[in-house]
Amino acid sequence: MSLPPEQPPEPRIPLGHGATFAPRFASGDGPDYDNVLACIRCGLCLSVCPTYATDGVEVQSPRGRVALIRAWQEGRLELSPNLRDHMYHCLDCRACQTICPTGVRVGELVLGARAVAESQRRRGAVAGALAGFSLRWLLPHPDRLEASLVPLRLYQRLGLQRLVRGSGALRLLPGPLAEMEGLLPQLPGRPLRQELPEVVPTSGVRRYRVGFFLGCVMTLVFARSSRATVDVLTANACEVVTPKEQVCCGAPHTEEGEFEEVRALARRNIDVFESLGVDYIVADCAACGAQTKEYAHLLCDDPAYAERARAFSAKVRDISEFLVGIPLRRPLGAVPRQVAYHMPCHLAHAQKVREAPRQLLRLVPGLQLMKLNEDDWCCGSAGIYNISHAGRADKILARKMDNLRESRADTVVTGNPGCLLQLQAGVRGRGWATDVRHPMELLAESYRGGAGEQLPPLDGEKVRIDSGSPTD
């Protein structure tokens, strides 16, 4: 009499299903299950993850988040408030994607998980109203957004900000309000969108017609930086077109899993820019550049917009990426500064533009580039992370500030408004005299001292300049 075959013991740790198992979220905006399976748990991502470095626990690492997403997709975990919160603990800095040997797109997987979680979420009345107000009523409408900052301008002009900060009254405000006030820099007198002509001609012979994607925070808070961007472009044979009808790129909505709202914004921006006949669409905000480059993917299944979105995204360039790819006028004015360059995550990791800003800064006479350790580590801003996860963001910022102090730079430059706000707050909170600038401000300052001979493209990219059109 034969004995039945011995059954393997039940594994103590659930191993999940094989690659042929149909996941819960096999389509739509949810995480790409095949990409989830690409994680080999090698641990390289742990060495570059700010939240793992801060907390030191597996669940706060990229591979930990991928494991949670896989278990959720395979039905071994149910959606809970705790699981949802873990998806928002991620900064979406994408440093893990840069180092991953198997191409796991952790940031995209996390955003997809947020989209699914938000679609199944029942918000409370107050939370739902706030989300609807900010994401759907305020951000998509530039006029409303500009009007919303009028009270803050009065708060500063009347000296109330100085009084509140000097008296210590900030400690009496609820946590998020105190964090927001602590980030608030000196606002410009008017948004740049209201002051900038729709078409700014080049200072010489026009070689390029460039559409300028003017970001929401850039026009409202960093108008001087974006004005410098326009000045640098016009100094380099560009006619700059800044359409008043453009709207938010959709980056804040993406971070909250609101993909349908992002698609609506993308369609509006495509409609606006495609009628302008521009050769390129340039952004000086790393988040805007990364998001608009994603329009082609976001609308790939839209029969009316798929091809138009591909054409739009193919024209998008970060300002530094664009400048190093064209024959550039050499800036002659001396800018005697010791400068540390902080890489914005949306530029270094999402767009893979790493060296272009430094190439431009090296052209500036008198400017000395200082070594900044961990220059591509997140500063802790990450959209509204420094408000929603203030404690952890402060620890991440402290690490960045320690590295900045060691660099001995008198100026730190970066190309994203969130990073500018975060670094300014870090400098101000420590009482340092360190200046925080956008790279285009220093380049524009040098151009005001004169422009020399034309240089070849710094990255070797060939651009056809006889007709003003980009090379395919």
Note the pLDDT of residue 27: 63
Q: How far apart are CA 343 and CA 349, in angstroms?
A: 9
Q: How far apart are CA 252 and CA 259, in angstroms?
A: 10
C-alpha angle 201-205-210 in degrees, rounded to nearest 5: 50
Structure tokens, 63: 């591979």
> What is the maximum span of the chain, computed from C-alpha positions, in angstroms?
98
- CB distance 59 to 68 below 8 Å: yes
- CB distance 387 to 180 below 8 Å: yes
Q: How far apart are CA 38 and CA 195, in angstroms?
A: 49
Q: How far apart are CA 395 and CA 387, in angstroms?
A: 13
Output Rg (C-alpha) for the chain, integer angstroms.
24
Q: How far apart are CA 418 and CA 180, in angstroms?
A: 12
pLDDT tens track of the chain, all 472 residues? 444 444 444 444 444 444 445 678 766 789 999 999 999 999 999 999 999 999 999 999 999 999 999 999 999 999 999 999 999 999 999 999 999 999 999 999 999 999 999 888 776 555 556 666 778 788 889 999 999 999 999 988 888 888 888 887 777 777 777 788 888 888 999 999 999 999 999 988 899 999 999 999 999 999 999 999 999 999 999 999 999 999 999 999 998 888 999 999 999 999 999 999 999 999 999 999 999 999 999 999 999 999 999 999 999 999 999 999 999 999 999 999 999 999 999 999 999 999 999 999 999 999 999 999 999 999 999 988 988 899 999 999 999 999 999 999 999 999 999 999 999 999 999 999 999 999 999 999 999 997 878 888 987 444 333 333 333 3
Structure tokens, 446: 């040098």
Q: How far apart are CA 258 and CA 29, in angstroms?
A: 10
Closest CA to 226 of 204, 195, 205: 195
Closest CA to 397 of 415, 370, 418: 418
Helices 439-447 and 223-234 sit at what angle, rounded to 10 degrees? Answer: 50
Domains belonging to the chain, first-starting first, are 33-119 (1.10.1060.10), 125-183 (no CATH), 192-324 (3.40.50), 328-455 (3.40.50)
Helices and strands, number each (H, E), in the chain: 26, 11
333 half-sphere exposure, CB direction, 13 A CA radius? 12
Closest CA to 215 of 374, 385, 50, 344: 344
Contacts of 187 (CB under 8 A, 6+ apart): 149, 152, 153, 156, 220, 221
Q: Where are the beta strands (DSSP E) in 345-425?
A: 367-369, 411-413
Note the pLDDT of residue 9: 47
Structure tokens, 361: 């800064």
Note the pLDDT of residue 26: 64
274 half-sphere exposure, CB direction, 13 A CA radius? 15
User: DSSP state, 245?
Assistant: T
Note the pLDDT of residue 469: 37
Query: Which residues share a beta bridge with 329?
Result: 454
User: Which helix (H) or strand (E) element contains residue 208?
Assistant: strand 208-213
Residues in the chain: 472
